[in-house]
Structure 1
Amino acid sequence: MRNIPAEIVNYMKSSGDAEVAKSEATEGVNLERFLKAFFDQVPAILYIKDDAGRYVKINPHCEATFQVTDSQARGTTDHDHFPAEFAEVFRRNDQLVLETGGFHTFEEIAVVDGVEHAFLARKFRVSDDRNGKHYVCGISTDISSFKRSEQELAAAKFEAERASRAKSQFLAAISHDMRQPIQAASLFLGVLDGRIGDPKAREVLERVKTSIDSVHGMLGDLLDLSRLDAALIKPAPKPIQLKPMLERLHAEFAPQAELKRLSLRTVPTNATVATDPELLDRILRNLLANAVSYTARGGILLGCRRAGDSVRIVVADTGPGIPDSHQQHIFEEFYQVGNAERDRSRGFGLGLAIVRRIADMLEHPVAVRSQLGRGSAFSVRVPLAATAPRVSDSGTEAPSSSRNDRTNSRPVLLVEDDPAVLSAMVMLLEEWGLSVVTAGSIEELETCIREQTVPPSLIIADYRLPGETTGTDAVALARSMVTADLPGIILTGDTDPARLREAHANHTRLLHKPIQAHQLQQVIAKILDGAVEEAMTKQQDGAKT
């Protein structure tokens, strides 16, 4: 194999510092021989081209890769070895290096054994000051396997995202179709609840309500997953005392446990932790619901254990236990253990998936210990608070009171195209003492607003309206015709996270069907009470000026 070109050797010699030159002189190192050994043995493609693009030298690795010897390559150009489109790219890259004199990195494609390969090419310019000649030195590495892995990962990611979108679209569509009739039934039950006094009739009513509530809970789990996917749930941690929260959960789940002849014991605690009370409440509620559902005999324990600068809140049961092989999967969506017959009373298998999602968001580690035939213990680790809570911070907020005898001189706009839901909503709103103006479409809404002599206090609209219009359009129209800060509520059965983001951006309250009558009443009361307080504040400010 020919020696390294003299110009390159001279360049390397002139580039060395005084210490290197001294070392070479004293130790008898032959730089040209050293460079030749490096050039021949390095496991990468090395090549040198002159300023006309002709090969001056290639190393053995380059020879083996492209099946051409150094002597065959000398004096030839890339056009002699590669397809024109690739050769022209190489030449453009080389010219850039020659013109700028800098160190450049390119991703280039070359044909090896009839197959296109990707190479990472690092190129720099070498100049001979004696004759003014410039050379391009290149080091290329085959990155085809990395590129294939990258493409496979990208394809897998795309497929996973496509599957996730398909799942979300399916859940959104089916939940919307289910929510419409359930919403109407729930609202009618709300009307009947205040009108039925006969004990037997009330017993039937309560059983119907229980069935509706069961379906409502299942759809609520789907909604929670959508909200978490949409990243709209923002934790608001603060110092809270655990005792009131645990007492409230005990009071709620004790009757359910008694129905199955289970004991529910809660260990008192004075711990104060730093967390979002509503989200922690949801975690513990799901864990307790699971414990009650899967435990056939024995009991359930709710308690706390100090663990350094944190507290482990434990929900333990004497249920059947969870096999080791299932313990890593129970936090996956729709995964259930011991429910092959898909007993709907045990839900969809979303409770623990929601627990894990919320816990990860709060950075509260969740753990499970279980022994077959003896039971399971789920725990969530919550940091202790550095400061004491305010008197009002005792867990989750108490629901706002709502008045059944509310009277409101300003009407509520109701936009709904489903006759059953519209009828139930009107009956319910009027039952609460509200004046209602209805519309079945955007066009009807515009007419109603023009005919009103008293401006509305609130607009409630279904999301899906006729003619490809939406509740968002209805709220926007009402605000443009009445006032920009008109409160708006949108009812939807669509769990698509985009709906949540859209409502959040438009400062509109989004309620998912089926919403229970008392929940709707609380939301409306809070909005109308807030509007009254704001109006009074503005009046007082006006009087002062």
Structure 2
Amino acid sequence: METANGPLSTHANEAGHKASAVRQIATNLVEIFTPPRQFTDQTIESAYIGDHGRRFAGSRLAASILACLTWSVFLGWDLYNGANNEAFRHVLPQILLLRFAGTAVLGALVYLCSRIRRDSLAQLSILCGVLAAGTLLVGQVAFSPPTHAFTHYFSGLYLVEFFQFGFFNLKAKATLATSCILVATVFFMQAVFHPLAPENFVYGMFFLVIVILTGLAVNVHAERHCRDRFLAELAMRDANERLALANTDLENKQQILEETQKARAATTEALLAIQARQREEAERQNQAKSMFLATATHDLRQPMHALNLFLHAGQEAFQRGNFPEVQRLIAQASDAANVMARLFNSILELSRLEAGGVVPEYHQLELTSILKDVIDQVGELARSQGVTVRLRTPSIAVHVISDAHWLHRVLTNLVANAIKYHADRLATPPTVLVGIVRLNTRVRVDIVDNGIGIPPQLLRDIFRPFYQVSNDERSRDNGLGLGLSIVNAAISILKEHRIEVRSRLGIGSRFSIDLPRPSLDGIERQLNQPPGETADEIQIQNRFVLLVEDDPLARASMIALLEQWGMLVEGASDLGELDGMLIEIERPPDLVILDYRLPGQCTYRDALTLIGRRTGASLPYLVVTGESVPPSHPEVTCGRLLMKPVNPWLLRNAIARAMQQQ
């Protein structure tokens, strides 16, 4: 026996390779002659048919014209054969009839190819024309003499098949069917008329079948190529559309990116500009703050210097026993202290307004009574300056929505400012007119004077701290230079409040405050200070006050002042000392005065809690603080808060109001 690697195995492998090669050849032959299938997607098939008809409409028209001309040219061949052959002359009429019929058929085909664009109709017309031409040619073979049938007319069938398979771009299945019909017609003609000798018939049919098979292979390849090209073009078209969409999307994104970059660049430039302006504003504010501090320090140093000298001079006069001189020097020291306190309070007040430490309390206020109180308050100043202050108000009450304290302060500063800058004229007495103008939803208060006026270029500067027109020497007879700054800061924190200034140099000025009116006239009036007795009418003597103050100097000065008013005072520095004092006192206090911050991280609230627990009662109280921005506690801001340094007159009024509430 031979092994697996011997001759037997070798022969088996060779036989397998040969069989595989034969199968591959057979497969290729089948593929060559098998017409391609239609597309499974009918939408694509319909699109292909439409595209195929449009694509080859021109070439089909040209092929039909060429076929018609070729068929007609052979008319000369027919006439030549009829003139030179006696036997052919007898059948020439039948041959010419078939020739003219073929010309008519192909002429009609030319017309149809020029008019029809639908592929199915065009192919049907061409196939009918080809079949008709082939049938007429078979008829010519049947009528021709045996000497001419094979050599002169049967060979024309090859030309018909050549046109069918090569020029018209028809479907392979349809051309194969037409060729089969034509072959059947030839067999029928030979069987009936016997125009061809048997050897010529076999020889001719052999070549006709070869031509048909060759044409079919070419036709199958052409159709397969057309279908593949259509799919490729369809895929290319889809790819181009997707590419166009992608390009459009990319262009849109590019445009968006460019716009974003431009917007970002603009934003960056704007931010840089804002930063530059903020930096400039910060530098300007820093310079303004430095100038403010320098001016404030200078103005505070002057009365402090005078106070120190007056006190030292009074001490020496006291040592000499010159008591009248001591009394005079103490009065002057008191004046210096008052100037220093006013200046210090104004600076703190302006700082609180600018730092946002003030929370306005809005109420419905009766404006006429406020203006009368303002005029009464500045009455002494007006009399000392020789200025007449006149008030013009409507006959009915006028109400506004505002903060009682800050509105009073703004109006007081404006009227006092108008009095200070009066003009010494002989013809026109110095006068300040205060008037109320009622509008639909607003109320305007005008403070008009006939004073020196303000130059137009200085209208914005007058609201700067310590700025005073025509007072370069900083004389205190014209005020401290903070009144209009406080007015501007207060107006800026009061909602719907506006200030307007108009002035003519040498004629006078008009300051107007625009205020909101209540939405309903029937709203209950809420005033910061309830009507009742004045501070001077309320008896505070022999009232017991409990003072909680951690600063020894402030506590001692407060006790001294309260005792001079005839009040009984007990002072404590912290909660421990306060607790011991509450255990020993025989009567509950009539009033508690507390500092806001106390030792041990405590506040006035802790002290009030301790007092309430020890006494079992809720006592009236005042909070006196040195905080630059006091806390906005509702129970503190409702008339119970005083800022250090406190004016003795304001302190006495606050104590009187607290006693009245009790």
Aligned partners of 1:480, 1:273: CA distance in 2, in Å?
39
Counterparts in 2 of 1:202 and 1:377: CA distance versus 1, 3 Å: farther
Contact (CA 8 Å) 2:432, 2:447: kept in 1 or not? yes
Corresponding position of 1:280: 407
Corresponding position of 1:511: 642
Counterparts in 2 of 1:355 and 1:399: CA distance versus 1, 3 Å: farther
Contact (CA 8 Å) 1:245, 1:396: kept in 2 or not? no
Letter in 2 for 1:526: R
Pairs within 5 Å for 1:330-345? 330-345=462-477
Corresponding position of 1:406: 541
* Structure 1 gap ranges (5+): 1-28, 47-60, 62-118, 121-139, 189-197, 533-545
Match for residue 348 of structure 2 among 218, 223, 229? 223
Corresponding position of 1:89: none
Name the one with the larger helix percent: 2
Match for residue 479 of structure 1 among 608, 619, 626? 608
Corresponding position of 1:387: 521
SS in structure 1 of the partner of residue 631 of structure 2 = helix
SS in structure 2 of the partner of residue 250 of structure 1 = helix
Give the Å deviation of 1:248: 3.1
Corresponding position of 2:417: 290
Contact (CA 8 Å) 1:323, 1:371: kept in 2 or not? yes
SS in structure 1 of the partner of residue 632 of structure 2 = helix
SS in structure 1 of the partner of residue 612 of structure 2 = coil
Give the Å deviation of 1:291: 0.8
Contact (CA 8 Å) 1:273, 1:382: kept in 2 or not? no
The yes-or-no answer on 1:417 pairing with 2:543 is no
1:372-410 CA-to-partner distances (Å, cap 9, x unmatched) read 1111111112345542687997999677436445334x5
Aligned partners of 1:379, 1:508: CA distance in 2, in Å?
28
Letter in 2 for 1:512: M
The yes-or-no answer on 1:325 pairing with 2:454 is no
Give the Å deviation of 1:327: 1.5
Name the one with the larger strand percent: 1
Higher relative contact order (CA 8 A, sep 6+): 1
Letter in 1 for 2:468: Q
For normalisation by structure 1, the TM-score amounts to 0.57
Aligned partners of 2:352, 2:437: CA distance in 1, in Å?
31
Match for residue 656 of structure 2 among 525, 528, 532? 525
SS in structure 2 of the partner of residue 237 of structure 1 = strand
Give the Å deviation of 1:416: 4.3
Letter in 2 for 1:373: G
Aligned partners of 2:606, 2:529: CA distance in 1, in Å?
39
The yes-or-no answer on 1:365 pairing with 2:498 is yes
Aligned partners of 1:327, 1:384: CA distance in 2, in Å?
28
Corresponding position of 1:235: 361
Contact (CA 8 Å) 1:411, 1:454: kept in 2 or not? no
Corresponding position of 2:482: 350
Pairs within 5 Å for 1:132-281? 143=264, 146-147=267-268, 149-150=270-271, 153=274, 209-228=334-353, 229-240=355-366, 242-271=367-396, 272-276=398-402, 277-281=404-408
How much identity, in percent, do the aligned residues show?
26
Pairs within 5 Å for 1:436-515? 436-441=569-574, 444-452=577-585, 454-462=587-595, 469=599, 473=602, 475-483=604-612, 485=618, 487-494=620-627, 496-497=628-629, 499-501=630-632, 509-515=640-646
Contact (CA 8 Å) 1:239, 1:387: kept in 2 or not? no
CA RMSD after TM alignment: 4.8
Contact (CA 8 Å) 2:450, 2:507: kept in 1 or not? yes
SS in structure 1 of the partner of residue 641 of structure 2 = strand
Match for residue 428 of structure 1 among 561, 564, 583? 561
For normalisation by structure 2, the TM-score amounts to 0.48
Corresponding position of 1:73: none
Letter in 2 for 1:516: N
Contact (CA 8 Å) 1:416, 1:422: kept in 2 or not? yes
Between Structure 1 and Structure 2, whose CA radius of gyration is higher? 2
Aligned partners of 2:525, 2:639: CA distance in 1, in Å?
31
The yes-or-no answer on 1:378 pairing with 2:503 is no
Counterparts in 2 of 1:488 and 1:311: CA distance versus 1, 3 Å: closer
1:336-374 CA-to-partner distances (Å, cap 9, x unmatched) read 333323333434433223223333414132111111111
1:31-76 CA-to-partner distances (Å, cap 9, x unmatched) read 8557636745876476xxxxxxxxxxxxxx7xxxxxxxxxxxxxxx
Letter in 1 for 2:421: Y
Give the Å deviation of 1:429: 2.2
Aligned partners of 1:487, 1:152: CA distance in 2, in Å?
55
Give the Å deviation of 1:258: 2.8
Give the Å deviation of 1:455: 4.9
